[in-house]
Chain A
């Protein structure tokens, strides 16, 4: 397990930079990871992040794009605009969750 200092906090990460302990996540960390990913967080981004965090706390897994759309009410098109190049992965990373499990 490696660690990295993000927004002055030492957090556990995997080899691809995904946090492995979602409890260590803070809003400051989210902003710092987003900056590394080339995303400037706006209110629309926070709506997504808040949904992902809430859904994770209830379900134990990072939601899929379809779930973010159907349950969270954020359209897939918006997700691609907000988090370009792999929105599910990028949004999960900024939300302090592990890499979403690919399907089988």
Chain B
């Protein structure tokens, strides 16, 4: 028997196990998955927790529920990946040999990378919302908060789900309006980027949303440290911004095992061929989702599109055929904008998010870069699709490659 080993049972790894199970000859291939956590979090849901839209229980299910019975699932820390020996050592010293390795170990927030961040202010008046702990602690904090300066800072790019910070602020504007205290809350968005988003047209449109909602934008601010005693963030070039509550997006890095195995770049992301998803340094190692160093968004939709391409390429690799260079960087993100509305963006490596319509068979066109109620419902519906279709590797009516249909240049 040959072994295909998947490291990580998050969104990307789980989809790959489900897709490959039906593609590989089960008399010839055994699929093994390793993950250190038992719980699968619906990460897009973290955003809603501080605003009481979801409870902390609404976003969790056991990982094993989504792993097919035919797949061997091991709950363990990974000690080291040894590509030269085609093996992975687990923390219990067990060694797993592989013929093909898929790295799907994701990305994590590392507040320890920023001086003063994970210190006395942490979960007192400094919170993140990219972890279940941060989101749930912030929910508690907001219940009793009487207002003041709320600063949201992106410490360093790249980050997971780059639209989430904007969504957080749009929802905060709505939430404090609903609570009748918007006039007591000052909202500021601090980013190292030159504008509200990474791509120019979307940055311009989303920037005007910030203006309309009276959210201040402080662009080109790279946070160097946090002075938690005086409630200030300080940039590398000594600019200061005061806060009463800091909602922070810490530095994002790959899993520690990547750095430990010397397989990553300076952030612990694995150098990956941008169109085939094969790792750059080892031909029998493939990388998917947030773990790659690709210039595509770190988001579930991207992992979903990559999974289609990677499934085909694993088969091609096994059959000795050339790999298809068909991953185009496609991302598709609903952006919650508050007051029961949302936007949608759809883009890839070469085409930035454009306005227009996004056709979807059976459900009907969504509006791109435009606030509609339907986009909000698309976002809310997605949780069901995620648990019931996406993780299980089922076909969704949306192509892996981006299409220009409906978009206006």
Contacts and interface: CB of A to CB of B under 8 A. Distances in A.
Contacts of A67: 265-266
Interface in B170-212: 193-194, 198-199
Interface of A: 64-67, 69-71, 76-77, 79-80, 84-86, 101-104
A77 B224 contact: yes
Interface of B: 156-158, 162, 193-194, 198-199, 220, 222, 224, 236-237, 265-267, 295-298, 331
A103 B236 contact: no
A66 B156 contact: yes
A80 B225 CA distance: 14
B402 to A, nearest CB: 14
Most chain B C-beta atoms within 10 Å of own C-beta, residue among A66, A76, A79: A66
Given A66-B156, A76-B236, A104 B297 contact: yes
30 contacts: A64-B266, A65-B222, A66-B156, A66-B266, A66-B267, A67-B265, A67-B266, A70-B266, A76-B224, A76-B236, A77-B236, A79-B236, A80-B224, A80-B236, A80-B237, A84-B237, A86-B220, A102-B157, A102-B194, A102-B198, A103-B157, A103-B158, A103-B193, A103-B295, A104-B157, A104-B158, A104-B162, A104-B198, A104-B296, A104-B298
A38 to B, nearest CB: 14
Describe B's contact surface by its main secondary structure. Answer: loop
Contacts of A77: 224, 236
Nearest to A79: B236
Contacts, number: 42
Contacts of A80: 224, 236-237
A71 B331 CA distance: 31
B218 to A, nearest CB: 15
B295 A71 contact: no
A65 B162 CA distance: 20
B301 to A, nearest CB: 13
Contacts of B198: 102-104
Contacts of A70: 266
A66 to B, nearest CB: 5
Contacts of A84: 237
Contacts of B331: 104
A81 to B, nearest CB: 8
A85 B193 contact: no
Closest 6 CB pairs of A and B: A103-B157, A103-B158, A80-B236, A70-B266, A67-B266, A80-B237
A35 to B, nearest CB: 21
Contacts of A86: 220
Contacts of A85: 237
Contacts of A101: 295
A70 B156 CA distance: 15
A71 B266 contact: yes
